[in-house]
Amino acid sequence: MATTTTAVYTVDGMSCGHCVNAVTEEVTEVSGVTDVAVDLEGKKVTVTSEGTVDDAAVRAAIDEAGYEVRG
């Protein structure tokens, strides 16, 4: 059985519900991702996955949505 992992990203530029939807939609498409939770006020995106998820793919998905991962 695969282990569930969680990664948290700080994302700049999100300011509304549309931002949340765009990030959630793009990151959900990354292979292995099982859940995406966006904290708009805290500027955090929490990604849950089965096993290890490709960090570069998550960062690329956030970029594709039009936002920037800090750090």
Task: Report the pLDDT value the prediction gives residue 71, as an integer from 0 to 100.
Answer: 80
23: enclosing H helix or E strand: helix 17-28
Task: Report the pLDDT value the prediction gives residue 7, as an integer from 0 to 100.
Answer: 96
> In the CATH hierarchy, which fold is given to the domain comprising 4-70?
Alpha-Beta Plaits (3.30.70)
The candidate with the shortest Cα–Cα distance to 26, out of 70, 64, 71, is: 64
pTM of the model: 0.92
Residue with tokens 């990030």: 23
60: enclosing H helix or E strand: helix 55-64
Domain locations in the chain as residue ranges: 4-70
Per-residue tens of pLDDT for the chain, all 71 residues: 668 999 999 999 999 999 999 999 999 999 999 999 999 999 999 999 988 889 999 999 999 999 999 98
Task: Report the pLDDT value the prediction gives residue 1, as an integer from 0 to 100.
Answer: 60
